[in-house]
Structure 1
């Protein structure tokens, strides 16, 4: 058992070191090429040959091994084998350094790609950390702690304050407030009472409740999130599919033509065997896709470096490539377009009292509540009152699901819902203002003293200031914006109006967010998703490009393809512009490199190009496309 664990640990360590080893091998190969070049200039040919062979082995081992293994596994030829054969062919006709350079460039690009793309997908394990391993089950008059996996539909579960709910169920006793942000993304807790449904992984904030389990552990809403992430991430990107389709035919075509070139010209055109073999080797060298590979990799890595310098982290070149082709960007609301926590936006008081008078009493009562709205009220009051001392409350009582009450000098104050302070009076208090606040999607709490309704305080998860700039810039670029939120219709509409979003979808649970992304893809093609919460993970994984805010949850960060490390929404527009610029340079490089390769191939058939000239043009085109790609390092 111990030996097995140690072997697993060694395997994990080796897998983690693999991309670094490939990169170091490519770097060492490049260093050996420089040494070999120096020795050639010093006319130490034998030593130079040994050095170049070492560069071949060190730089090409990983790609040769990968190419052979893939060929054996898929029964298809690949570009890795073609590059190795091109390098060997170059060496066979005496051009050791050129062959080593081919190996170095291809090995370096592969190592950098592995290093960039080989990210551990920890989102599943992060999600599972939110799923409780044990639950308190009620059997008769007794309570027992059991593994969640042993629970069955119909079991009664006891959920205490602060505990995560272990399974989807229905409350049969008690009332409480539930933090459902892991499911809906809504930052404001939801009041739950007898008959209401609760979801696995959400947090019980206040009261003790008894829940009847209504779904098995593999059918919970939370489990569906995990399945959606796994399913979406297993789908191959269009670029991957194109490369797979292109690779086999290209390699087969080149190898077939080179094979024919080794015999046909001797019999068809009377070439000597030396000339035939020479031309076949030249063809193998000039037809190698070295410049094509360099057309993409340096440009991509330069753009990735540029983005990283500006706080934009790409998890691979394919995502950087795709984002420039995006037609629609969907945004999560809570924590992305908005700040993710409620803030006081409006305060109205009864005639005859002041705002400071109301805030000093309400804040003193709310100080003793752990409700998120209470914290927002206290913070606002502390900032507004400054030097004004709070009143002293007596006999404070927290009424779960309704509000709080306390006594000031014998006068009872109530703070909470309209039903708690007196529904008719509350609804009559500033009636027109109440309607406006409701239309704006704001949450309202009332305060009542001995004389009636003393005032109201409105709170809202406010839109980030930079969100307006980001939305406007994207729309100027011709990109449509969509908001996906778990909020109700009125709140969603208010946030959409305020932020300038083109359209929105309300009442979005995780699976419906992912479905909304799929519908947008059917309508527009490539779609990006911007989110920061666990509930956004399925949509982030389903989208063509998932973009996470740097301050988001670990799951969102790991699932996303692009991370905005500075948590600054206008970076999205900068990301789109960078991608568009990179795609333009890549197209230039590809067109140029293909043109050069075709000209060299044609010249070789007409016996115009010599091997040294072919190498000069071939390697020269490679250098030019690399330099063109490096322009992306500049902003």
Structure 2
């Protein structure tokens, strides 16, 4: 969360002051109905001041009341300007990454003859070639190659990511930089429509996005304003009647009635309402999450069920070699040596991890096979095997295969061999743990098993436990078999799982939960997650995922960290709690102001003037000053948000009522009395 000391920088403070002055224009003033009534009242008071001045009518409290009403409007504008400015600062930093770069356009995939053009001239489906040191000119899909890409300009993270053709790691973002190898990329967006452009427009469009709850609260506040206007107007004939009965002139001036009205209506929450909503989205941005709408942020605070795709979300996405299990009569080092030999031509992440594990455990280095007659057996989807055949003087001396257990079993049996029962038991145990057994054989002799393990991202179990305390159920969705799914679900600490899930099954589960009245959040990164992301109330797409997934979600996690949902939920709950807390404070504050100043204004209520305010004029002026100053005092809270503590809704409601409702009742008495002492002492 944002540190309170860094809520407003010097530069932001200056630009917000200027923007607050600009918002005095009716174009901005009338976008907030409650503050629009303050604007109208202030304008009418200004006209009366000009009339008094031209008619030489003596002033009373008109000038100071007019000044403090201007201050009230200014602080309301300032609160909104600060919230907008914090988001725009992030947009400016993103805009710096969107520069015109020179692109190497090619005619076909794999072509090394390229034509250099400005990136803004690229079209959808154009193919570009990028190598180490080049900036990726726009959003696209990798169609050939594998490379490390620095995405720190977008995510803020310094660790590079791997981008490769095929699968769910093929999407690249414009403005990021290639740091090794090369890629051929097919453009998927037009100039000006890249992911960074969309993020900038989403951030800068925050001021125009109002959530249904915010709109509903705005309507309620405006209705209260009309009700209080009628209440204040009704005081005029009542005051005149009572004044005539007791022989006292209570025909107060327009400035007094206006001040009473402004102090009664909910100006505090109305002034801060926009800032609260914008700041909720801005806090998400600081967590490297882009929300496409404020509605998604609010929904995040109320979700009940979280669905997570396993691969790339709960796990790292690539299986890694974890351990060698040799058969009887074979040493583990022999198995490791054969496994590495069969993996030297395997460019998949799994194959590379086998080479690395053999190096780490037995210091087996990649050997030079150029002097030998070597025939590499590439992986085939039909055989589910890969390997190597080594010949000396035209004679086959080593024939190594590695692959799926069923495929290797059939291969061994075709050569007249069998799979030992002990190895089959090891294979079954590996499967039960949620790992994948890979058999390695030399000829008909099975050498052993390699365990490929799905690596669960660190710290997830503790994070899911935190979600459980928040009342959120976690459900893992995977295409794995039930045994594998159960093992990974237990390791990750999720509450439930769906195995062998299809896109239709994911969609069906979300709809079932929503039919039961639950709000559902979905985290995913693949094209097959897109329907579920679109259907869910909160769809969080991983930035490392496909373009389709990012388009379907209503939030994008730039760090691609599924545990980020805890921050998303906390920020959503903060937004709702902050709005509720400040609404409670504002209403209690308005009630207290009237109990404080009315006894000083009307003689029959004098016994209730327990604060002994010095005079009616001072009482009304003190209330107007307090009403203005309470807005900037609450700006830090509206920007930072109420601290979220996992509690039941009833406990949170009671806490808000006691803390903010009670504070709203007490502070006006203290504040108005203090200001009255300052005024009566001639200090103001």
**Does TM, normalized by the shorter one, top 0.5?**
yes
- How far off is 1:435 after superposition? 1.9
- How far off is 1:287 after superposition? 4.1
> In 1, distance between residues paired with 2:284 and 2:437?
42
> In 2, distance between residues paired with 1:534 and 1:115?
35
Work out whether 1:495 is the aligned partner of 2:488.
yes
> Conserved in 2, the CA contact under 8 Å of 1:306 and 1:632?
no
Match of 1:614 among 603, 623, 637: 623
Closer/same/farther in 2, CA of residues 388 and 260 from structure 1, 3 Å limit? closer
Match of 2:324 among 339, 347, 354: 347
> Conserved in 1, the CA contact under 8 Å of 2:83 and 2:279?
no
User: Which residue number corresponds to residue 53 of structure 2?
Assistant: none
Match of 2:36 among 77, 81, 93: 81
- How far off is 1:463 after superposition? 1.2
Work out whether 1:359 is the aligned partner of 2:336.
yes
User: Which residue number corresponds to residue 411 of structure 1?
Assistant: 398
Deviation larger for 335-344 or 460-469? 460-469
User: Which residue number corresponds to residue 65 of structure 1?
Assistant: 27
User: Which residue number corresponds to residue 240 of structure 1?
Assistant: 211
CA deviation string 1:558-579 (max 9, x = no partner): 7666666665555544554565
Closer/same/farther in 2, CA of residues 507 and 116 from structure 1, 3 Å limit? farther
- How far off is 1:343 after superposition? 0.7
- RMSD over equivalenced CA pairs, Å: 5.0
CA deviation string 1:239-258 (max 9, x = no partner): 82233334345435534753
> In 2, distance between residues paired with 1:96 and 1:557?
51
CA deviation string 1:341-367 (max 9, x = no partner): 111133222222222222222322322
Work out whether 1:375 is the aligned partner of 2:357.
no
Work out whether 1:421 is the aligned partner of 2:398.
no
> In 2, distance between residues paired with 1:574 and 1:563?
13
TM value normalised by structure 2: 0.58
> In 2, distance between residues paired with 1:555 and 1:283?
56
- How far off is 1:546 after superposition? 3.9
> Conserved in 2, the CA contact under 8 Å of 1:529 and 1:546?
yes
Match of 1:105 among 39, 58, 75: 75
> In 2, distance between residues paired with 1:503 and 1:29?
50
CA deviation string 1:95-126 (max 9, x = no partner): 44323333333334444555678999x9xxxx
CA deviation string 1:463-510 (max 9, x = no partner): 123112212232244432111234443432221122121111234444
Match of 2:315 among 338, 348, 359: 338
Closer/same/farther in 2, CA of residues 377 and 89 from structure 1, 3 Å limit? farther
> In 2, distance between residues paired with 1:318 and 1:263?
39
> In 2, distance between residues paired with 1:329 and 1:289?
37
User: Which residue number corresponds to residue 587 of structure 2?
Assistant: 594
> In 2, distance between residues paired with 1:65 and 1:584?
30
Structure 1 unpaired stretches of 5+? 1-20, 31-54, 71-76, 123-133, 137-146, 149-160, 164-177, 184-237
Match of 1:386 among 345, 363, 385: 363
Closer/same/farther in 2, CA of residues 162 and 329 from structure 1, 3 Å limit? same
Closer/same/farther in 2, CA of residues 83 and 179 from structure 1, 3 Å limit? farther
> In 2, distance between residues paired with 1:406 and 1:630?
62
> In 2, distance between residues paired with 1:242 and 1:302?
15
Query: Which has more radius of gyration?
Result: 2
Deviation larger for 518-527 or 328-337? 518-527
> In 2, distance between residues paired with 1:181 and 1:325?
30
Secondary structure of the residue aligned to 1:341 is: strand
Count of residues in Structure 1 that have an aligned counterpart in Structure 2: 490
User: Which residue number corresponds to residue 452 of structure 1?
Assistant: 445
Work out whether 1:471 is the aligned partner of 2:464.
yes
Q: How does 1:170-249 map to 2 (within 5 A)?
A: 179-181=166-168, 240-248=211-219
Match of 1:531 among 496, 519, 524: 524
Closer/same/farther in 2, CA of residues 329 and 23 from structure 1, 3 Å limit? farther
